[in-house]
């Protein structure tokens, strides 16, 4: 999810081939994973057994290869510009941290735990809900640069908001997930959860910032851009490889009940549109300029699914319903967010007709 994204406010990244057709690549990974899991189950069992402290080592490496290149693009120095767009930042923080995780817990319980429960494997229902909660508990910090660019969003706002969300995640992700899993009556393995935060948030954020500063100190912006260009394919390949592994473990269950993916997508789709609409409406009510309101709606709706996948694997295992639920988020991310981009662009005249910005 990181190809073509630049942290510098002046950069105007376009959606590249891989990003535009990411759902196609994900679908191909689903097919490949299911096929390989059926043909060579022993290989997948060996990968699943490579664990230390409940962390699957091969997948942990892949997750790092996904996350670190993305975090390398983020300039935490942009936090100094938060005050320039404080109303837009306030709207997005409210939706990201006070609305989205709780609304997903509600939607997951309503649809997966009740309405769709007769159609789902009973032993996986709580795990599916946990995966949906993990998906909503952290805002996206990568593709939002692309979404913001596509809707002509204010780049300084986008960058400062993403930097602020990264810092908040370090401290808020574990307590928030623990609270919501407890509310949903799901046992919280606190040791594993805290280890996941350390492995997939704290260490990558710190490591990426040190690497970024080193590159800028030795070669300036050209060195940073060269490095990002080199590692972008690695990040995408790691994502796709992780998906192949996940669906290799989930293959038998998916073949037995293909309806599961469709049902899991329902609360995700509802959550995206409701939260995007809420952020957009609140921005209009507060007279936030449209160039800030548009990316605010997109940041408010999108998810940091790389982290969600990693946490789901660590907490519940490679073959869990939680891991599958987070992967469904990957599948729907691009087409759904592109539709949100079209909506905010189409409604710009309506938005600006009654604001003072």
Q: What is the pLDDT of residue 357?
A: 40
pLDDT at position 183, please? 78
* pLDDT interval class at 8 (50, 70, 90): very low
Percentage of the chain beyond pLDDT 90 is: 30
pLDDT beyond 70 at 60: yes
Q: Would you state the pLDDT for residue 165? A: 84
DSSP 49-73: H-EETTEEHHHHHHHHHHHHHHHHT
Contact call for residues 266 and 111 (beta carbons, < 8 A): yes
Structure tokens at 273: 């549109």
* Alpha carbon distances (Å) from 293 to 158, 168, 288, 289: 10, 21, 6, 6
pLDDT at 350: 92
pLDDT for 103: 94
Give pLDDT tens digits for 225-265: 899 888 877 877 887 887 788 778 767 766 777 888 899 99
CATH of 18-352, one of 1.20.1530.20, 3.40.50.360, 3.40.720.10, 1.10.15.40: 1.20.1530.20
**Domain ranges across the chain:** 18-352
Rg of the Cα atoms in the chain: 19
Write out the two tokens for 193.
Answer: 């959860």
Is the model's pLDDT at 53 over the cut of 60? yes
pLDDT band, residue 309 (cuts 50/70/90): confident
Residue 56 has pLDDT above 80, yes or no: no
Tell me the C-alpha distance between 125 and 108, whole Å: 10
pLDDT, greater one: 158 or 82? 158
pLDDT confidence of 166, banded at 50, 70, 90? confident
Average pLDDT over residues 276-303: 93
pLDDT at 6: 40
As a whole number, mean pLDDT of residues 187-206 equals: 76
Q: Using one digit for the tens of pLDDT, what is the confidence trace for 260-289?
A: 889 999 999 999 999 999 999 999 999 999
pTM: 0.76
Q: How far apart are the first and last CA of the chain?
A: 32
């Amino acid at each position: 999810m990181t190809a073509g994204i630049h942290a510098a406010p002046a950069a105007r990244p376009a959606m590249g081939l891989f990003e535009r057709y990411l759902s196609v690549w994900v679908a191909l990974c689903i097919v490949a994973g299911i096929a390989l899991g059926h043909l060579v189950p022993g290989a997948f069992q060996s990968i699943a057994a490579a664990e230390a402290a409940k962390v699957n080592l091969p997948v942990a490496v892949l997750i790092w290869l996904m996350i670190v290149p993305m975090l390398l693009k983020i300039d935490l120095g942009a936090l100094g510009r938060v005050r320039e767009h404080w109303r837009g930042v306030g709207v997005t923080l409210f939706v990201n941290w006070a609305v989205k995780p709780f609304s997903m817990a509600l939607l997951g319980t309503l649809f997966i735990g009740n309405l769709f429960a007769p159609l789902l494997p009973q032993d996986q229902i709580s795990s599916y809900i946990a995966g949906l909660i993990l998906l909503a508990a952290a805002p996206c910090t990568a593709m939002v640069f692309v979404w913001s660019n596509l809707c002509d969003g204010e780049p300084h706002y986008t960058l400062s908001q993403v930097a602020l969300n990264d810092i908040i995640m370090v401290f808020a992700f574990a307590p928030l997930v623990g609270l919501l899993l407890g509310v949903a009556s799901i046992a919280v393995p606190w040791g594993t959860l805290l280890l996941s935060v350390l492995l997939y948030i704290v260490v990558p954020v710190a490591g990426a910032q040190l690497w970024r500063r080193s590159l800028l100190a030795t070669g300036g912006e050209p060195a940073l851009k060269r490095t990002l260009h080199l590692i972008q394919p690695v990040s995408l390949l790691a994502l796709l490889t992780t998906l192949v592994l996940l669906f290799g473990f989930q293959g038998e269950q998916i073949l037995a009940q293909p309806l599961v993916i469709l049902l899991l997508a329902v609360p995700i789709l509802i959550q995206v549109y409701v939260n995007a609409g809420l952020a957009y409406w609140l921005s209009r009510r507060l007279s936030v300029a449209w160039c800030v309101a548009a990316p605010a709606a997109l940041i408010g709706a999108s998810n940091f699914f790389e982290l969600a996948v990693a946490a789901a694997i660590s907490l519940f295992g490679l073959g869990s319903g939680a891991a599958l639920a987070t992967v469904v988020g990957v599948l729907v991310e691009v087409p759904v967010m592109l539709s949100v981009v079209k909506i905010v662009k189409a409604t710009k005249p309506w938005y600006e007709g009654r604001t003072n910005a």
